[in-house]
Structure 1
Amino acid sequence: MFHFDAEGIFEPFFLKPKYFLSPQGISNNKNLRHMMNKIAKKLMTLGTVAALAGAVSVANAETLKIGLAGPATGPVAQYGDMQKIGVMAAIDDINKAGGINGMQLEGVIYDDACDPKQAVAVANKIVNDGVQHVVGHLCSSSTEPAADIYDEEGVLMITAASTSPTITEKGFQLVFRTIGLDSLQGSLAADHILNSVKPQRVAVIHDKQQYGEGLATAVKTKLEGNNLNPVMFEGVTPGDKDFSALIAKLKKNNIDFVYYGGYHPELGLILRQSSEKGFKAQFMGPEGVVNSDLAKIAGKAVEGVLATAPKSFDQNAVNQARVEAIKAKGEDPTGPFVFTAYAAVEVMTNAMKATGKTDPFELADHIRATELDTAIGKVKYNKQGDLTESTFLVYKLHQDGSKTPAQ
């Protein structure tokens, strides 16, 4: 019933979420964790730890904190910026409209640098900070270990960018997305390759990470199932700068189509160096390559590259006021994760409005049972927390950083 920290100082057990929610403390039964989570909140609300209740509980606070977890630094920080733009725009709009259940929202940024170890540290800090609602993480390899912590500790998490199916296959109660799965995105990419591009000799390359390799595998599997067997299936190391050996192998194998699973820094260099070495093939990638920095790295070699990405929700008439408000702040509303992040905040807050509650478990129940209106349209979830409809389209990328739907 009691806990003493490393210095021998007494702390009540209910101030240590990991103590009563961890596999070592109490069983992993989610209903039991739910009950214990509610008991702890009730004790705090009743003043058992009055000196700390204001810091831990948001029930009577004037502001409700929304954690924003993703890369604010590192090679893919631009995607974190997209997520931040969407989340903060949604918070601004909701606050201007009067807030949620008498509370104003406050966005709190946590930087995981798209690193799994740092993501675990961030998730634990979010728990210790008493934040119970999180948009993030962004990279699938960071989201998955963080999701383990959130679901165990009673924190509602909605990712606007992580597409790996394995995240939600674990049967979490408190984890959702506002973006489609790799399996759907990979299938869409493969369909376009088979039906529109119709190449002869395909190479599928990936960055050896959960997101990139997962997508590459999904594409490879669909192609093989339709009698187009990739000539090459290989990984590159994130952070590499010289892709001469890879390009030489692509040329030697007479590759006319390259699918790349990963992020823009490596693909940009592969495109530029391929152009310099006279290797000409059609390239395609996922939403992880869709941003203006790809063109900055690849130059004119980016023209005509294909990519799957969430629909251009900034073009929807219903979002035009939101788009103008984002532009007025000097920010770009066109990134693939801007409106999926905006919608993640809406999913949470729409559930809060409907239930009059902020409890993560009650919100999760409502989210699963209800079709919700958001900036990306009406969203509905299956029992795993995944969208029932895909949000992806195939685009053609251009040197000026823009994209247009592929034919």
Structure 2
Amino acid sequence: MTQKRMFTLLALFVTMALLVTGCGGTQSAQSDNKGPVKIGFFAPVTGPAAADGESVLNAAKLAVETINNDGGINGRKVELVNYDDALDSKQAVSIAQKLTTKDGVVAVVSGSYSGTTRASAKIYQDAKIPMISAYALHPDITKTGNYMFRQSFVGPVQGKAGAKVAVDMLNAKKISILQVDIDFGKTLAAGFTEKAQQLGAEIISVDSFSTGEKEFTPVLTKIKQLNPDLIYIPGYAAECSQIVRQAKELGITAKILGTEGADSTVQFLGVAKDAANGVIITTNMNRDSDRKLVQDFIKDYNQKYGYKPDMVAASTYDAFMVLANVMKTKGTEPDTIRQGLTEVKDYEAVTGLIKGYNQLGEVKKSVQVQIVKDAEFHYFGEISDDDIITPPSE
């Protein structure tokens, strides 16, 4: 064998070896057009937010089932790769590392809160894996980078919408704020305060409480003495249910305005019961919508899990459906998914018409306003003013 022929054969062997090697690893899972399309998911299934975690995991499973029953992604099945973050930021970071280095996912949906979503966002951004935050509302999540998107309203948008409801729809002049002392409460309260003052209302008191707190009589007694027209409560369902019960026991007559945090059929309505009647919330879901898409989701979720879905479930479901729509039309590579999300326009979702995502990845859609009647949420109004629902772009 000549030296030239030996060199040619050696070069051919090396080339084949490199080709075989290049077919392995995470990229193979992302680009194989025969295998399943893997979507990562994390939620607080255990720990202090387990009720929301269960709700969103149910919604994620229902979404994947719906997508696959409808033919998957151009014939490929969607596979849910889900983890429990237990509302722990360290666990959320560990999960992000697994999803981006070992699991071969092409996109991720956060079914968790702002703290855990913020803590892990940079890992997804650095790995160039698009992530949609289903309902966490802190502004810093999307500011992490161009692979970050949000399915629900960023905090300032919902806060401003709440102020519009309080002042223009409920005629409140004097307002007390009772907020949960974490990102969720602080962000919503800041947006609410700014807009309420612009509209001419006076914030006469601001008080905070911790997650897990159960005794609100002292602070409510103080608020009662101030005699506000309205109490704004950016908090979660467990605490809000206790607040409205104790407010009724104290004979407080001020109107109560909550947020999506109280949008829970189990933790809020199921616990507050009659005390919740008349409470109004800003949220991401209109149960009384006449759109078939909405009513089918409510019916399917209720039949499958035995209770009606809440806002976090609807937002999570929509995040998966948006991803599926993009992947069907644009492809399943992370880069094409990211680009496809930036091009979404007028997409019909359970939580309303998604007008699009801006350069920060913030969604633009109307804010829903619900009122509790006979232990159920019902339509009260909708905030669609452009100056309120247009999210910040920087």
- Residue by residue, what CA displacement relative to the aligned partner does 1:236-261 show, whole Å, maximum 9, x if unpaired? 11112222221121123223311011
Indicate the SS of the match to 1:358. Answer: coil
Counterparts of 1:295 and 1:322, CA distance in 2: 20
Q: Which moved more, 1:338-347 or 1:230-239?
A: 338-347
Contact 2:276 2:375 in 1 (8 A): no
Instruction: State the one-letter code of the partner of 1:59.
Output: S
1:298 to 269, 272, 283: 272
Query: Which one has a bigger Cα radius of gyration?
Result: 2
- Label 1:277 to 1:326 Cα distance change in 2 as closer, same or farther (>3 A): closer
Q: Name the residue aligned to 2:116.
A: 142
- Label 1:313 to 1:92 Cα distance change in 2 as closer, same or farther (>3 A): farther
Contact 1:173 1:361 in 2 (8 A): no
Give 1:181 shift: 2.0
Contact 2:302 2:309 in 1 (8 A): no
Instruction: State the one-letter code of the partner of 1:264.
Output: A
Q: Which moved more, 1:69-78 or 1:280-289?
A: 69-78
1:59 paired to 2:31 = yes
Counterparts of 1:264 and 1:122, CA distance in 2: 26
Q: Name the residue aligned to 2:7.
A: none
Q: Name the residue aligned to 1:77.
A: 50
Give 1:319 shift: 4.2
Give 1:298 shift: 2.3
Give 1:331 shift: 4.3
Q: Name the residue aligned to 1:390.
A: 365
Give 1:128 shift: 3.4
Q: Name the residue aligned to 2:254.
A: 281
- Label 1:401 to 1:81 Cα distance change in 2 as closer, same or farther (>3 A): farther
- Label 1:208 to 1:120 Cα distance change in 2 as closer, same or farther (>3 A): same
Counterparts of 1:45 and 1:151, CA distance in 2: 28
- Label 1:313 to 1:133 Cα distance change in 2 as closer, same or farther (>3 A): farther
- Residue by residue, what CA displacement relative to the aligned partner does 1:296-329 show, whole Å, maximum 9, x if unpaired? 3323211111100113268422344444433432
Instruction: State the one-letter code of the partner of 2:280.
Output: L
Give 1:92 shift: 1.2
Instruction: State the one-letter code of the partner of 1:392.
Output: V
Counterparts of 1:158 and 1:247, CA distance in 2: 37
Contact 1:347 1:374 in 2 (8 A): no
1:168 to 142, 145, 155: 142
Give 1:290 shift: 1.0
Counterparts of 1:271 and 1:290, CA distance in 2: 14
- Residue by residue, what CA displacement relative to the aligned partner does 1:44-102 show, whole Å, maximum 9, x if unpaired? 9943277x637972432622221221121233323233322332222112212222144
- Label 1:250 to 1:297 Cα distance change in 2 as closer, same or farther (>3 A): same
Q: Which ranges in structure 2 are unaligned for 5 or more consecutive residues?
A: 1-15, 383-394
Counterparts of 1:248 and 1:362, CA distance in 2: 55
Indicate the SS of the match to 1:224. Answer: helix
Indicate the SS of the match to 1:190. Answer: helix
Indicate the SS of the match to 1:195. Answer: helix
- Label 1:352 to 1:404 Cα distance change in 2 as closer, same or farther (>3 A): closer
1:380 paired to 2:356 = yes
Counterparts of 1:274 and 1:112, CA distance in 2: 34
Instruction: State the one-letter code of the partner of 2:70.
Output: A
Q: Which ranges in structure 1 are unaligned for 5 or more consecutive residues?
A: 1-42
1:132 paired to 2:101 = no
Give 1:396 shift: 0.8
Counterparts of 2:300 and 2:270, CA distance in 1: 26
Aligned-pair identity (%): 27
Q: Name the residue aligned to 2:389.
A: none
Contact 2:287 2:377 in 1 (8 A): no
Counterparts of 2:288 and 2:58, CA distance in 1: 13
1:318 paired to 2:293 = yes
Aligned positions, number:
361
1:69-218 superposed matches below 5 A: 69-130=42-103, 131-170=105-144, 172-218=145-191
- Label 1:372 to 1:113 Cα distance change in 2 as closer, same or farther (>3 A): farther
- Label 1:313 to 1:225 Cα distance change in 2 as closer, same or farther (>3 A): same
Contact 2:53 2:111 in 1 (8 A): no
1:230 to 203, 206, 221: 203
Counterparts of 1:200 and 1:323, CA distance in 2: 37
TM-score by length of 1: 0.80
